[in-house]
Each structure stands twice: as structure tokens, then as C-alpha cells.
């Protein structure tokens, strides 16, 4: 995506994020301990008030991104600790009305545009009115 390429210009940020994620997965794959990981990839972070679970969207596959309040990311991380559905998963999270395909994210994030009314959620997107519903259907990384 344009954003990935832009961020990678400065110290290869995205490259090292990906390498870090791969290392986490490898360490847990080798471990005999009954521990699990969850990799949360927030979209562009904002200082806006939290939207709450009903206004959030998550997806897997690194195909969609958007913007999300820092407080919503914190809530997702805390709730993921208590959910079996997030075990050994990697997912992106963002405000549902900001989600767009990665190839269009660069300009839309800079201009802070929303996805527009009536824009359907991508087929890989998860929404819910509770945390359990939001996380339902996530696939472990090894299954993707």
C-alpha cells in the first residue's frame, strides 16, 4: 500500500514490524508452555473519543485499514486477553466507518475521509455489538 511504502522509507519501519510479528509467532510455535499470542494491528491512531465495540471493525489478511481512537485500541487489547477467539491470531482494527482497502488508504487517511454511507464491510471484516461477537470467526494464524 502507499502508506506501507511511505513508512518503510524511514528506517524500514514496516519491514521491522513484520519481522517482529514473525519472531513472536515462531517463539510461540516452539514453546511447550500453554501460552498464546494476539497481534493487534491498529489503523491510524487518533486522539478522538472512543467509539465503542459497536462502531469498530476487525479483519485478517492485511487488506483493509482505517483510523481508530487510541482508547479503542486499548479496549481491544484488554478484551482480547479474555477471549479464546483471539488465541494465536493477527488482526487489523479500525473504526467501521473509516475502513478502506489498503490500496486506497494513503490519500483517504491523509484527508481523514470516511468510507461513506452504505459502504459495505469487506467480506473478511468482523463487526459485533459485543466483544465476543466482534472476535467471533477469527482464524488462528496457522490456519490462514
pLDDT digits over 122-138, tens only?
A: 457 999 999 999 999 99
Domain segments of the chain: what residues? Answer: 36-143
- How far apart, in whole angstroms, are the C-alpha atoms of residue 104 and residue 113? 11
- C-alpha distances (whole Å) from 107 to each of 2, 3, 16, 60, 103 are 8, 9, 24, 22, 9
> For 36-42, what is the mean pLDDT?
97
pLDDT at residue 46 tops 50: yes
CB count, 10 Å around CB of 81? Answer: 9
Is 58:41 a contact under the CB 8 Å cutoff?
no
pLDDT at residue 117 tops 50: no
pTM of the model: 0.81
- Name beta bridge partners: 44: 67
User: 3-state class of 115 per DSSP?
Assistant: coil
Amino acid at each position: 500500500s502507499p502508506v506501507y511504502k511511505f513508512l518503510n522509507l524511514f528506517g524500514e519501519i514496516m519491514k521491522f514490524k513484520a519481522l517482529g510479528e514473525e519472531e513472536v509467532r515462531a517463539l510461540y510455535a516452539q514453546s511447550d508452555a500453554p501460552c498464546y499470542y494476539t497481534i493487534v494491528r491498529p489503523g491510524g491512531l487518533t486522539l478522538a473519543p472512543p467509539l465503542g465495540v459497536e462502531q469498530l471493525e476487525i479483519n485478517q489478511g492485511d487488506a483493509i485499514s482505517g483510523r481508530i481512537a487510541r482508547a479503542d485500541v486499548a479496549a481491544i487489547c484488554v478484551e482480547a486477553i479474555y477471549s479464546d477467539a483471539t488465541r494465536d491470531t493477527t488482526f487489523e482494527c479500525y473504526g467501521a466507518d473509516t475502513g478502506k482497502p489498503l490500496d486506497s488508504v494513503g490519500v483517504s487517511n491523509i484527508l481523514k475521509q470516511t468510507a461513506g454511507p452504505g459502504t459495505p464491510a469487506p467480506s473478511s471484516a468482523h463487526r459485533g455489538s459485543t466483544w465476543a461477537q466482534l472476535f467471533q470467526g477469527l482464524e488462528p494464524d496457522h490456519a490462514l
